[in-house]
Structures are given as structure tokens and as C-alpha cells.
Amino acid sequence: MSEAVLRPMADADLPAVQRLEKELFPEDAWSEAMFLEELAGCPATRHYVVAQDPDGRLVGYAGLAAVAGQADVQTIGVGTARRRSGIGAALLTELLDEAARRGCEAVFLEVRADNAAAHRLYERFGFVRVGVRKRYYQPANVDAIVMRRELRRRPAAGFTRGNQ
């Protein structure tokens, strides 16, 4: 993941997160109040991380919701200048690991039908298409593709592989 490191998102990160959010999602950027509400759910039902370069610059972020055994990728993004260097993959790996640590059986997400880069990332991580929400993104009038990725269940204690 180049030199960036992941760490938990804090309230103090929100001005930098907002700058990135507006760059990444110009049509439907979350407000600072929405991020604050998400962070208030950490760690009970939320897990939010940022990717930070050695010079302190925040270059990506991601968030997971985990409620009653189901996890959802709430958001994930990497600054334009730092794309294709493994940061998105590292962020997604962290969310999937956290969902597994919390005992979730599957992770869901919604992605714009026209977001080829995100589709490739999610497919590479084993997400499969399970549904579509027609014209979900407005005003662009673009469908949302719902994707799901199962998490491997840990074998029960004492389980050993048999020969049959």
C-alpha cells in the first residue's frame, strides 16, 4: 500500500475527510454532520478508518456498519492523486477483517452502476451482484448495484478435517 498507514478515524480528521469527500463524491457528498453521526456509532455499530501518508496528509478513508450479524460498507474512497497504489484494497481488507472479527456472515454494499473502478475492486475481493436499486442515485438517475460478499465462518472449536 505504498507508504500510507491505516488508523481509526477521529473527529479531528473531519475537515480533511470533507475535502476528500467533496472531491470523490461531488454529486452526493456526505456532510460533516453525517460523518459525526457515523463516528458516534464507533465502536458499537461502526468502524471507520483513514489512510494517512507519512507527511500527515489524509489520502483515503472507509467505514463499515455492523448490526445484528450483517455488515455494510458505508463508504470508501481514495484521493485521485493516490489511486492505483493499493490503498483502496488495504481499506477494504480492513473493513472485511473487522466484519469477520465482529462475527458477521456477510458484507453488503451499494455501488453506482457506472463506477467501473469500484466494480473491479469489489469483484477482485469476491463480491457478487445480488440486486439492483433502479435510479437510486439522483439527480444523475443512475442505478445502484447491490453486492454481497460472504465471510468464511470460523470452524467450531475442536473441528478437525476428516478423510471422508
Ligand X SMILES: CC(C)(COP(=O)(O)OP(=O)(O)OC[C@H]1O[C@@H](n2cnc3c(N)ncnc32)[C@H](O)[C@@H]1OP(=O)(O)O)[C@@H](O)C(=O)NCCC(=O)NCCS
* 17, HSE (Cβ side, Cα atoms, 13 Å): 25
- Say which of 110, 123, 136, 150 is annotated catalytic: 110
In terms of DSSP bridges, do strands 5-8 and 106-112 run parallel, antiparallel, or are they unpaired? unpaired
Site for ligand X in 126-145 (CB under 6 A): none
Grid cell at residue 31? 456532510
From the CB of 11, what's the least distance to ligand X, in Å? 22
From the CB of 54, what's the least distance to ligand X, in Å? 17
Residue 20 interacts with ligand X (CB under 6 A): yes or no: no
Residue 147 interacts with ligand X (CB under 6 A): yes or no: no
Active site residue 150: no
Q: Which of 87, 99, 145, 147 binds ligand X (CB under 6 A)?
A: 87
- Say which of 21, 61, 98, 122 is annotated catalytic: 122
From the CB of 76, what's the least distance to ligand X, in Å? 5
Residue 63 interacts with ligand X (CB under 6 A): yes or no: no
Residue 40 interacts with ligand X (CB under 6 A): yes or no: no
Active site residue 122: yes
Where is 71: in which H helix or E strand? strand 70-78
| CB-based contacts of 76-84 (< 8 A; 24+ apart in sequence) | 76/118, 77/20, 77/21, 77/24, 77/25, 78/24, 78/51, 79/20, 79/23, 79/24, 80/23, 80/24, 82/2, 82/4, 82/53, 83/117
Catalytic positions, written as ranges: 110, 122
